[in-house]
Chain A
Amino acid sequence: MCGIAGLIHKGKTVNIGKELQDMLQALKHRGPDSTGFALYGKGNNQGDYIMRFKVGENVAEGSSAVNEDKSVYDERRKLVDKHIRELGGSIVNDAQLTPYSFRYCIKYDKDLMEFSKRIESVEMTEILSLGKSLELVKDIGDASVVSKQYGLDKIKGTHAIGHSRMATESGVDIRSAHPFWGYPFSDVSVVHNGQLTNYWNNRRALENKGMRFMSECDSELIAVYLAQKMRSGASLQDGMQDSLKELDGVFTYLVATKDSLGMAKDTMAAKPMVLYESDDLVALGSEEIAIRTLLPQEIDTYDPYDGEVKVWQI
C-alpha cells in the first residue's frame, strides 16, 4: 500500500525533519517495512556537495538483505575515499551514522555521473543522495526509529518528501526503500505509491542512455526517468506531464528539487493523495491524518484529480 507525504514552507525555514517524521509516523499503518526522508535545507553554507551513501545493508529483523561481516564496511569506505581523491574531490567533513551509512561534505566541480559511477563501483556501495541541499536518509523501521537512528528531528529546512513502505515487488532492504535519488541529477528525489506496469521497457531504454538502477523497485524508475528528462532540458513540470503518458500503471508520486516540490497523479486516480494549500504552506499525504499532525485545527483539504500535475516553489 505505502504512504507518502510531503510539505513545503514558502519563504520559511523550519524543523523540517521533525515535521516529516510526525507525518510519516501517522502513515505507519500503510507500510511498516522501511521509512525514508528527503530533507531540503541550506546545505553546509559553503556550496559543497552533501553525499549520503551506504556500503552495506541493515540486516535487522525483517530485512531481506544478506548478512555481511562488518569489517568489510571500513575497507569499502577507504576505497570510496580513495576514489573521491582520484576524481579531484576533497572531503571537507565526514560522519559515520551507522556501521554501513555515511554523510560526507565534498568539494567537487566536475561531472556528477562520472563521480557517481566511480563511487558506486565499490562493492555494495550506493549513493543515496548527492546534492547541495538534499539530505536523503532511508532505513528499515518506522519513522521514529529511522529518525532517531540518524538524528533527523534536528534537521532544519524548507521542504521535504518521505515514504513509509509496504514492500511488494522487491525486498525489505535499504536499496529498495524510498525516496530514490534522481541519479545523477543533483538534489532530485522521488517517492511513489503505486505500481508501474511498463517498468522493464522503460528501464532498458534508460539504461541504454547510461542511467543506472540500483534496485528492482519500480518506483526507482520514476526518479531516473525524471532525471533523464531534466538532463535533456525539460522542466520538472514538463517531465512530470510526460510521465503521465509514458509511465503505465497506477501511481501517485511526489518529487522534490532544491527549490520545488511536485505532485503527479495518474489518469485512473487509483492511488490516494490529500492536499492542503495555503499562502505559506503546502502539505500532502496519502491520508489526511498525516497533514493533521501539522495542522490540528479545522482546515480545507481536497483530493487532487486524475491526471493532475502540480509544482510549488519555496
Chain B
Amino acid sequence: MANLKNSKSQSMGLHKEVLAGRTQQVFFNPEEAENFFYYGAYDVDFNKRTEIDAMDLTAKQLNDKLHSLMKEGYGSVVIKNPQGKHSLGVGILNKLNLIFEGSLGYFGVGSIDGPVVRITGRVGWSCAENMMAGKVVIEKNAGSCFGAAIRGGDLICKGSVGARTGIDMKGGTIIVGGDAGAFTGFMMQRGRIIVLGDAGINLGDSMYDGTIFIGGKIKSFGSDAIKAKITSDDISWLKRKLKVAEIGSDFDLSKMTKVVAGKKLWNYDALEPSEKKGAI
C-alpha cells in the first residue's frame, strides 16, 4: 500500500488534505517507488492463484472477495459460473490476471485500471466502460455500448459487438473480430477502433477525433465521418495490434477502410462561444 507523505505544497500551507489516486493531484517523486501504485492498490504475485465459484454470490459479494484476495497477494484469480450476472469485476485499479469462465451481464469489468482479463463467454451491455488501462479479451460476443468512454488499454472481442461500440471513447483501442452494430464510434473523441467484419448504420456519427478501421462492409457513414487514406504506419500499427489481440493473423489489411472525423460538424468555424451566442 502506498505510504503518502506530506508534500512541499502542504508544508507551505497551501492545502491540508492527503491526496491520492491518479485522477487527483499527486506530487510525484521518482525516488519513491510507491508513487507508481495507486492509493489502495495491492502488491500481488501472479504465481499466487485461486478460484472463486460465483454461482451463489451476488455481484457485491464477488467484487468484495476479489479485493480481499488481492489484499492477500493473489495475482491470478479464476471466477467460475459468473452466470451472466451484472457488474462483476468492476473497479479493479490493480495489476491482476483475472479469468471469467463463462459470461458476464451488464457493466462487466467497468472502471478498471490495469488488470488483464479474459472472459471465455460473452458480455452484456457496457463492458469495460471507463476502462483506463489493461487488457480485456472476450472470446465470444458482446452487447451494445462495448467500451463506452474508455480512456486506455486494449479491449478485444473475438466475436461480434452490438450498437454504439466505443461511444464517447477518449483513448485506448477496441478490437472486434466479427461485426459491429449501428453508431459504432458515436461521438468518439480519441483512440482507435478496429472491426474486422461489417459495420452497421451511422458509423462514426459525430466523432470528434480518433480513427476507425473497418475490414468489411459499412452500411452507412454517420454525420461528419469520412474515409481517409490508409498509410504504411497504419498497416504496421494494425499488424501489431491484431497480434496482441490474437485475431486476424491472415487478414488482408490493405482492404481496411479507414474512417476519421471530417471536422466540419463541430469545428465549422473559429467563433468563440460568446460570439456563437451572439450569432444565434
Q: Point out the residues of chain A lying under 8 angstroms from B182, CB to CB.
A: 267-269, 305-307
- Chain B's nearest CB lies how many Å from the CB of A289? 5
Residues of A within 8 A of B141 (CB): 300-303
Report the Cα distance A308→B186, complex, angstroms: 20
Contact of B125 among A272, A292, A300, A305 (CB under 8 A): A272
Closest chain A CB from B113 CB (angstroms): 26
Q: Does B110 contact A (CB under 8 A)?
A: no
Q: Is the pair A306, B181 in contact by a Cβ cutoff of 8 Å? A: yes
Among the stretches B10-18, B155-163, B247-255, the one at the interface with A is B155-163
A287 in complex: contacting residue of B102, B105, B160, B201, CB < 8 Å: B105
* CB of B68 closer than 8 Å to a CB of A: no
B85 CB → nearest A CB, Å:
7
- Return the contact of A298 from the options B103, B105, B124 (Cβ within 8 A): B103
A288 interface contact, C-beta 8 A: yes
User: What residues of chain B lie closer than 8 Å to A307, measured between beta carbons?
Assistant: 182, 201
Task: Report chain A residues within 8 Å CB of B118.
Answer: none
* With A302-B160, A305-B181 as contacts: A288 and B201 at CB distance below 8 Å: no
**Cα separation A55 to B143 with both chains bound (whole Å):** 42
**Which residues in A have their C-beta under 8 angstroms from that of B106?**
287
What 1/0 mask marks residues of chain B from 113 to 124 whose CB sits below 8 Å from any chain A CB? 000000011101
A99, B199: Cα distance in complex, Å: 54
Nearest Cβ on chain A to B109's Cβ, whole angstroms? 15
Chain B neighbourhood of A272, CB < 8 A: 124-125, 143-144
Chain A contacts for B258, CB-based, 8 A: none
Report yes or no: B181 in contact with A269, Cβ–Cβ below 8 A: yes
User: How far apart are A253's CB and chain B's nearest CB, in angstroms?
Assistant: 17
A288 to B101, CA, bound (A): 16
Q: Is the CB of B122 within 8 A of A267?
A: no
* Closest residue of A by beta carbon distance from B104: A288
Chain B interface residue count, CB cutoff 8 Å, equals 30
Tell yes or no: A80 within 8 A of B by CB. no
A288 partner residues in chain B, CB cutoff 8 A: 84, 103, 105, 122, 124
How distant is B101 from chain A, measured CB to nearest CB, in Å?
Answer: 8
User: Does B83 count as interface, using CB distance less than 8 angstroms?
Assistant: yes
B241 at the interface (CB under 8 A from A): no
Whether, in the assembled complex, B200 has its beta carbon less than 8 Å from a beta carbon of chain A, the answer is: yes
By beta carbon, the residue of chain B nearest A26 is B84
With A272-B144, A298-B121 as known contacts, state yes or no: A267 contacts B201, CB within 8 Å. Answer: yes
**Are A289 and B163 within 8 A (Cβ)?**
no
Which partner residue on chain B sits nearest A265 by CB separation? B163
| CB-based nearest B residue for A271 | B144
- The reply on A270 being an interface residue by CB < 8 A is yes
Give Cα distance in the complex from A293 to B66, angstroms: 25
The contact of A291 among B84, B86, B162, B181, by CB within 8 Å, is B84
Please give me the residue from chain A that is nearest to B84 by CB atom. Answer: A288
A299 to B30, CA, bound (A): 49
Q: How many residues of A contact B (CB 8 A)?
A: 21
B140 lies within 8 A of A296 (CB): no
| Contacting residues of chain B (144-172) with chain A, CB-CB under 8 angstroms | 144, 159-160, 162-164
Residues 50 to 105 of chain B near chain A (Cβ within 8 Å): 83-86, 101-103, 105
Partner of A274, one of B85, B102, B143, B183: B143
Find the B residue at minimum CB distance from A308: B181
What's the Cα separation between A251 and B74 when bound, in Å?
Answer: 44
Q: Which chain A residues border B101 with CB–CB below 8 Å?
A: 298
CB distance from A249 to the nearest CB of B (A): 15
Task: For the complex formed, measure the closest distance between the CB of B223 and the CB atoms of chain A, giving whole angstroms.
Answer: 14
Q: Is the CB of A289 within 8 A of B122?
A: no
State in angstroms the CA–CA spacing of A298 and B103 once bound together: 8
By beta carbon, the residue of chain A nearest B143 is A303
A residues 79-96 touching B (CB-CB < 8 Å):
none
Contacts of A268 in B (CB 8 A): 163, 182-183
Tell whether A292 pairs with B181 under 8 Å between CB atoms, given A272-B143, A301-B103, A305-B200.
no
Residue numbers in A under 8 Å from B121 (CB-CB): 298
Q: Give Cα distance in the complex from A20 to B159, angstroms.
A: 29
* Closest Cβ–Cβ distance, residue A52 to chain B (whole Å): 33
B124 touches A287 (CB 8 A): yes
Cβ contacts under 8 Å, B122 to chain A: 288, 300-302
CB<8 Å pairs between A and B, sample of 29 = A267-B182, A268-B182, A269-B144, A269-B162, A269-B182, A269-B183, A270-B163, A272-B124, A272-B125, A272-B143, A272-B144, A274-B143, A287-B86, A288-B122, A289-B83, A292-B83, A296-B83, A298-B101, A300-B141, A301-B141, A302-B122, A302-B140, A302-B159, A303-B141, A303-B144, A305-B179, A306-B163, A306-B181, A306-B200
Using A269-B181, A298-B120, A301-B122 as known contacts, list a sample of 18 further A-B pairs with CB atoms less than 8 Å apart, ordered by residue number in A. Answer: A269-B200, A272-B143, A274-B143, A287-B84, A287-B105, A288-B84, A288-B122, A289-B84, A289-B86, A289-B105, A292-B84, A298-B103, A302-B159, A303-B141, A303-B142, A303-B143, A303-B181, A306-B181
Residues of A within 8 A of B (CB): 267-270, 272, 274, 287-289, 291-292, 296, 298-303, 305-307
The 7 closest A-B pairs by CB, nearest first: A288-B84, A269-B163, A306-B182, A303-B162, A302-B141, A303-B143, A292-B84
